[in-house]
Amino acid sequence: MSELTTVARPYAKAAFDFAVEQDAIESWHEMISFAAAVAKDDQMTTFLNSAETPDKKTEVFIKVCGEQLDEKAQNFVRVMAENGRLKALPEVETLYSALRADYDKEIAVDVTSAVKLTKKQQDNLVKALEERFSRKVKLNCSVDAAIVSGLYIKAGDTVIDGTVRGKLTRLAHALQS
């Protein structure tokens, strides 16, 4: 997977930079997402792994995508096909999404709690996290009764473990030291 990330990074960056220049970040995101979904399809994956020429792969891929890709996006697909990189499209989409979130000053935060959070609790949490991270926060809430009480918050590389389970684990380690 890290190899695909390395391959996909310059394509994602080029597509994003072009989209910013053209003021078409959303439309490019939609086109790349669609192309990535096509590339993930089992039949298309088999076809992309076949011995067909890059020109044939490009032609078929663009026909399958149809009018979902504009002329510039079709050129983008052609360049990736010529370099044998169409299989990296799903990773290009992931990296493009990350670039877009960074550009929009947005961060996705995963919050796990023992019980479902109320709307007011979510709003308060969003407000506090936006202040802490200086970004717009998009919450992804889930419930896990095993954490007993408190919240487990993960935002990128930052983890805030405010659960009873986490506190007990830290206390046990402190007592053993």
CATH of the domain at 115: 3.40.30
β-strand 151-155 against 106-113: which pairing, if any? antiparallel
Domain count, the chain: 2
Do 45 and 98 belong together in one domain?
yes
Do 130 and 75 belong together in one domain?
no
Residue range of the domain that includes 87: 2-102
Report which secondary-structure segment, H or E, holds 22: none
Please say which residue of 73, 102, 131 terminates a domain. 102
Token output for 108:
């996705």
Do 57 and 138 belong together in one domain?
no
Do 140 and 95 belong together in one domain?
no
Do 113 and 93 belong together in one domain?
no
Residue type, 91: E
Please say which residue of 53, 80, 102 terminates a domain. 102
Do 26 and 112 belong together in one domain?
no
Please say which residue of 54, 73, 102 terminates a domain. 102
Do 45 and 109 belong together in one domain?
no
- Using the 8-state DSSP alphabet, how is residue 114 labeled? S
Do 90 and 120 belong together in one domain?
no
Do 98 and 111 belong together in one domain?
no
The widest CA-to-CA distance across the chain, in whole angstroms, is 66
What own/partner pairs with CB < 8 Å and gap ≥ 24 does 4-9 have? 4/87, 4/88, 4/91, 5/91, 5/95, 7/85, 7/88, 7/91, 8/85, 8/88, 8/89, 8/91, 8/92, 8/94, 8/95, 9/95
Do 56 and 120 belong together in one domain?
no
CATH number, domain of 26, equals 1.10.520.20
Mean pLDDT value across residues 122-150: 88
Q: Are 29 and 22 in contact (CB under 8 A)?
A: no
Per-residue confidence (pLDDT) for residue 39, from 0 to 100: 86
Phi-psi region of 148 (alpha: psi -120 to 50; beta: other; left: phi over 0): left
28 Cβ contact list (under 8 Å, min separation 6): 15, 16, 18, 19, 22, 73, 96
Q: Write the pLDDT tens digit of every residue in 51-104.
A: 777 788 888 888 888 888 888 888 888 888 888 888 889 999 999 988 988 888
Per-residue confidence (pLDDT) for residue 135, from 0 to 100: 85
Q: What is this structure's pTM?
A: 0.66
| Backbone torsions φ then ψ of 108, nearest 5 degrees | -90, 130
Token output for 172:
């046990």
* Euclidean distance between CA atoms 21 and 45, whole angstroms: 32
Do 113 and 147 belong together in one domain?
yes
Per-residue confidence (pLDDT) for residue 93, from 0 to 100: 93
Do 98 and 109 belong together in one domain?
no
Q: Is the pLDDT of residue 28 over 80?
A: yes
